[in-house]
Amino acid sequence: TCADKNMTMTEPKDQTVFFDRKSGKRLSVDVMLDRPASKIHVIRNFITKAECDAMEKAAQPRLHAATVADDKGGSRLSDNRKAKQAGISVPWGEEAQGHPIAVLSRRVYDYTNFATGQNIEHHGQEDLMSIQYVGRGDVEAPDRYMPHCDGDCKGQPHRDGGRFATMVMYCVVPEIGGATNFKNSAVHVKPEIGTATFFSYMDNDGKTDKGFTEHSGCPVIKGEKKIVTQWVRKGVDKDNRWDSWNTLGIKYDAMGD
């Protein structure tokens, strides 16, 4: 668990290779968990320094305190999640010219479809998120993210427009702390620069995970942790963007006055 700062990286159950069609590179993938509704993969050399630098530069003037969903369909500050974050819109119009953020985002959706067998497009998806944690020693409320699920994780049917997969990409890693821990799956991922952790939480029949992808962003004790995160949704498009739903998964135009 996060309490054990010396906990080692979990050994993979299997390995595979992802071919990145844009770069022509074959990326090594460690399969940590492979269940119909719950997958956890660690992908080597997924994000480049240039892509990390572009995200950090775009995020710097927009960083603000990270929030969590509340029980009213909005969001709030919480000691369960201490970090700074900034959403970055992907410049899709510059993808053909090789804009690093657009190239990175395309790789995320290509990998999501590779891993899940879905046919997800970028239209209507959430912004890429730059998230930054700072180590302050063993304090009472360190920069961290306590155990949580990114989407539904009680085995219920997936709700249209909801999240079903996550990609976490590591740009800067701390000296102590900052692992990603999936307690219910006994998977512990120690961050490495350039590596990404992908996890999905829906099967091909639309049933959600039963808690296997619940995870923690372990406290950062010493150093900095800078990541890029993409939460991937199913059921969004140009006319039904991710922000058409509140944080309870209720579509605004169905709420009435």
Question: What pLDDT digit, counting tens, does each position of 142-185 carry?
Answer: 888 899 999 999 999 999 999 999 999 999 999 999 999 999 99
Structure tokens at 19: 């071919």
Element (H, E) at 231: strand 224-233
- Residue 236, pLDDT score: 96
Q: Which residues contact 79 (CB under 8 A, 6 or more apart)?
A: 141
Structure tokens at 108: 């995320």
Q: Which residues contact 171 (CB under 8 A, 6 or more apart)?
A: 47, 52, 55, 56, 193, 226, 227, 228
CB 232 within 8 A of CB 108: yes
- What is the dihedral angle through the alpha carbons of 194, 188, 153, 85, rounded to the nearest 10 degrees? -40
Residues of the chain with pLDDT under 70: 1, 256-257
Structure tokens at 159: 């709700």
Give phi and psi for 180, each to the nearest 5.
-110, 120
- Residue 96, pLDDT score: 95
- Residue 19's beta-bridge partner residues? 26
- Residue 207, pLDDT score: 97
pTM listed for this prediction: 0.95
Interatomic CA distance for residues 120 and 125, integer angstroms: 10
